Structure formats: structure tokens, C-alpha cells
Structure 1
Amino acid sequence: MLSRALVIVIFVPLLILIFLKGDFTFLIFTEVIIGMSVYEFYKMLKDKGFEVASRIGLFLSLLLPVLVYMKDKVLFSYNFMGFSGDIIARFDIGGFVVFALMLIATRQILKVKINGAMAEISYTLFGIIYISYFFSYILLIKSEFSNGRALVLMTFILIWTCDIAAYLVGISIGGKIIKRRLAPEISPKKSFEGAIGGFIGAFIVALKFDVIFSFFAEFFCKNIHIFSECSVHSNISFTKTEALLLALIIAFFAELGDLVESKIKREFEIKDSGTLLLGHGGFLDRFDSALFVLPVVYYFVKYFIS
């Protein structure tokens, strides 16, 4: 219990600080989460006897967020023999998937081994897309929206709120009103009452997010003097309908992300993806909900809010 509290006390303020003012540290944070989660995922596979191109998969997983971060940035300018211009990084996920698949397939050809070839390609590529590509949406949210930092912080606060509210409601009245569990074969303790409680909690916080953001931002501005500038307003304001829809999709996809990872662990017959986060399990355990929520929040804001 003490170790779990220690992790929260240390890492939650650090994450908030990175979300509020981080730039290159934002990329480093993304790389650490992706790198450790992909490592844990491939290790789970290998421990159960599945073959996976873990080195190439980890390399591609760490390369992807760098390409997203450098998207549309001028890498360097040139002026040579009458030719001049700028080399600009153009990122395209379709091209990246083609490159990744070709690289993994080439490795298979060089190995000569036939048995398990398709499974190895599939498992490796799945890890890249499921973890690296999904989580890289955190960089797209930050860079493509004028209030991107606040949106990232909002996303994680809503995920945390949903998780805490679902837990508190679940242990209080879970299974007492609706007898059937949410996914008994995958996660026997999850209840419909808890899921509804998570949705309600996310809805309330979404409505009042600008006030919550101001509290966090003002606290960090006053107590941590490393900011060149510090705004205490998120410029995020939802109507009741928008907050309702946002809370609904976050509650649904956060639960879905958690259940997907739980099902993977069930198949591998393990409790946690790792042990580095002390009582909190592994990195994949802590960020499984975000993998599904971040892409959905990106498209929700892009097409329904902006």
C-alpha cells in the first residue's frame, strides 16, 4: 500500500508538469511509456513460447513517436549549386506501416525458418500498432490543437476520474443492483454499477474541467518556478451535450482498453504486465486505458469540437 501511494505522490505531479509545460520532455515521456509497454508486451509473448521480432518491433515502436513529433518540421535547409529549399518531415501512418511490414518480413526471409513466420510478423506488428501508434496520439493532440496541452491533461484526468469513480462505486454497490458482471470471464470484479459510476464521474469533471485546470496550473505556477510563462486557463469549455458525449466515449473506451489488456494477460496466465511500478504492476497495466482513449479524444475534438 505504501509503495502504491509513493508512486502516485511522485509520478502524478511529474506527469501534470510535463503535460502543462513539457516540450522535448513530452516526447521523452511518450518514448518511455511506449518503450517500456512494448518491452513488457513482447516479453509476455516470449515467456509463453511465442516468437516475436522484439528488437525490430521495439526499434519501430520508438521511431514512430519521433516521426510524429517531427511532423511538418523543417529538418534542414540547403543551398547547393543553384538548388535551394527545405527538407521537411512528412509523416504518413500508411507509409510507416508499409515500411514496418516490409522490414519485419525481410527479417523473416533472412531467417529462412518457415514455421511460425506469419505469427511472428503478426504479433510484432500488432505490438507496434496497439501500443506505439495508439499512444502516439498524445503527440498529435498536443501539436495539432491550440489548447493541446490542456486537452492532454484533461484526457488523463478524465481517465483517472473514471477509474477511481468506477472502483469506489464498484466496491460499494457493484453487483447489488445489476447481478451480472461486466466481463466475468476476463475481469470478474468489474460491475455495471462501477462502469456507470465512472461515466458519471467523468461527466461531472468534464463540465468543470476549466476550473480544475486552473487549480492545477495555478498551483504549479506558484510553487515550481521553472516556467517562462504560465497560463491558468485551459480554454476548454464544453456544453452539457459535449461533456456527456465525451464522458460516455471516455468511460467506454477506457473500460475497453483495460479489458483488452486484461484478456491478453488472461491468455498468458499472468497478473501484471510488469513489476517496475511497484504495487501498480507494469507500464502497460497503468496506460492500457489511455491506448484506446487518446485516439478517440483526438478525433472527437477534431471533428466535433474544433
Structure 2
Amino acid sequence: MKTRAITGFFFIIVMLASVLLGPIVFGVFFLALSLLCLHEFYGLNIKSGISVNRRSGFVNAILIYAFFALIVYQQQSAHIEYGFIFLLTLSMSSVFIFELFKISVAPLTNIAYTILGLVFVTVPFTFFNALAFIGQGYNFHIPLAFLLMLWANDTGAYLVGMSIGRHKLFERHSPKKTWEGFIGGVAISAGVGLIISRYYTELSWNHWVIMAVLIGTFGTLGDLVESMFKRSINIKDSGGILPGHGGLLDRFDGFLMAAPIVYTYLYFILNA
């Protein structure tokens, strides 16, 4: 428990610092996190017997992240944009072409899981990066609030579930999760959203609360999806990079599904 607490403390400090230190540190840090999560995802698939193409996956992940980062930074020229589109078409084609030179009993499965890693891991990080630029220029308020509400939901769900949890939420994939924990986590996250609305006025209080509900709901679904994936290959933790916490995928499972949903919601309400 002591190791878990120390790791969690330093992890939160590093995450907060990455958001507060400006757009370059923010973008590079979350690109690095996305690659580490992708590394874990591919590693789990390799353990289960699927021969994913890591090299092509990492190249495509960097190009996808960089391409959308240039768009949201609003600093790209048409030539750079067209150049990235050209590079992306070549790099995505390489996922298929390289499989021609491998001896494999299930080449399409290898291709599918290589691309799935990009969709499941890389794309959500590009949406989270875009949250900081959803207004005019770089603004750390929304990604910081997102992280605070996500952590509040996780902590609230754990504490309420441990205290009064009785009714299983989705026992087949996560035996410890309960409806009481889920509702408690969402409620505490919404409370944090209300507090944030007093200090960050980019959004009205009701939008912060809706954002918290989306994070709590889709964060829980993301957690369940990752649990389903790990159980399907008989793995307990996605990795061991965080002592006492497992792997990075274990810490970002809720983040992966919540980030695209929250960005989409904010994009439409701010551009309505």
C-alpha cells in the first residue's frame, strides 16, 4: 500500500506538471504516454499469440498524433498538412505490406490488432491533446479539469463501492465494481465539476457537471472494456511500469474512452 501511495503521488505530480508547463511539454509528454500505452497494448497481444507489427504501429501513432496536433495548434500550412496526409497514407499502407513478407497463419488478425492499437490507444490521446486548444490558443483549464474529475470519479467509485457497494455492475468483466460505486463516483466527479466552475469560467456550471457525468460514465465503460480485454487473454495487469499500480493502460483505461466523448461534446456546445 505504501508503494502504491508513493507511486500515485509522483504520478499525479508529473501529470499536473505536464499540463501546466505549456503546449510543447504538454504535447510531447502525452505523445510519450500514448506510445508507452501502445507498447503495452501490443505487448499483451504478442503474449496472446498475435504477431502485431510494432514498428509500423509506432510510426503511424507518431504521425497521427503529430498531424492532429498541428491542426489544433492552428499553426500548420497547407504544404505541411498535405505532406502529413501523404506520409500517413504510406505508413498505414506499410501495416498491410509488411505482412506480405511475414510467415503467419493469421495475417489479417495481425493487421487488425495493429490498427486496433492506433484506434484504441493513440486516437484518444489526440483528442485529449485537442482539449487544450478547443478555445482560442492553449488553455490548460479544460485538460486539467478533465484529469481532476477523472481522478475524483475513480476515487469516489472505489470508496463508495468499498463502503456500501452491494449490487454488481458488470460482474462478468469486473467482479468488484458495483452500481453504488458507479453512482457515487459520478456524483463526486460532478461535485468536483461544480467546484471547478467557480474558478474556471470558460464553461457554465451545467456544462462542467455534464462533462463530469460523461467522464464518470464513459470512464467506467473504458475500464470495463480494458478488463474484458485482459480477461480474454488471462492477464491481470497490463504491465509493471508503475509499482503498485500495474501498467499505464491500467491507469488510462477510463481516459481512453472518455476523452473523445468529452471533446466531441465540448466542440459542439462551443461551436453551436
* Structure-2 residue corresponding to 1:82: none
Residue pairs, 1:11-30, within 5 angstroms: 11-30=11-30
1:173 to 152, 164, 176: 164
Q: Provide the rounded CA distance (Å) in 1 between the counterparts of 2:66 and 2:92.
A: 18
1:152 Cα offset (Å): 0.3
Is structure 2 residue 119 aligned with structure 1 residue 150?
Answer: no
* Structure-2 residue corresponding to 1:236: 202
Q: Provide the rounded CA distance (Å) in 1 between the counterparts of 2:84 and 2:210.
A: 29
Query: What RMSD, in angstroms, separates the aligned Cα atoms of the two structures?
Result: 2.2
1:47 Cα offset (Å): 1.0
Q: Provide the rounded CA distance (Å) in 1 between the counterparts of 2:87 and 2:214.
A: 28
1:246 Cα offset (Å): 2.2
1:194 Cα offset (Å): 0.4
Is structure 2 residue 180 aligned with structure 1 residue 193?
Answer: yes
16-25 vs 97-106, which moves further = 97-106
1:282 Cα offset (Å): 0.5
Q: Residues 278-301 of structure 1, C-alpha deviation per residue, up to 9 Å, x if partnerless?
A: 001101111111111111111111
270-279 vs 5-14, which moves further = 5-14
- Give me the TM-score of the superposition, normalised by structure 2: 0.90
The 8 Å contact of residues 73 and 88 in structure 1, kept in 2 or not, is answered as: no
2:94 to 89, 93, 103: 103
- Give me the TM-score of the superposition, normalised by structure 1: 0.81
Q: Residues 221-277 of structure 1, C-alpha deviation per residue, up to 9 Å, x if partnerless?
A: xxxxxxxxxxxxx3334233x344323221110001111111111011111000010
Residue pairs, 1:1-306, within 5 angstroms: 1-71=1-71, 72-74=74-76, 87-89=79-81, 99-111=90-102, 113=103, 115-146=105-136, 148-175=139-166, 179=167, 181-211=168-198, 234-240=200-206, 242-306=207-271
The 8 Å contact of residues 124 and 256 in structure 2, kept in 1 or not, is answered as: yes
The 8 Å contact of residues 68 and 91 in structure 1, kept in 2 or not, is answered as: no
Unaligned runs of 5+ in 1: 76-85, 215-233
Structure showing greater radius of gyration is 1
Aligned CA distance change for structure 1 residues 91 and 134 (closer, same or farther; 3 Å)? farther
120-129 vs 61-70, which moves further = 61-70
Q: Provide the rounded CA distance (Å) in 2 between the counterparts of 1:96 and 1:132.
A: 17
Aligned CA distance change for structure 1 residues 255 and 109 (closer, same or farther; 3 Å)? same
* Structure-2 residue corresponding to 1:225: none
Q: Residues 87-116 of structure 1, C-alpha deviation per residue, up to 9 Å, x if partnerless?
A: 3435988x88755542211112233x4621
The 8 Å contact of residues 207 and 238 in structure 1, kept in 2 or not, is answered as: no
Task: Name the SS of the counterpart of 2:147 in structure 1.
Answer: helix
Q: Provide the rounded CA distance (Å) in 1 between the counterparts of 2:42 and 2:33.
A: 14
Q: Provide the rounded CA distance (Å) in 2 between the counterparts of 1:91 and 1:293.
A: 30
Q: Provide the rounded CA distance (Å) in 2 between the counterparts of 1:236 and 1:156.
A: 16
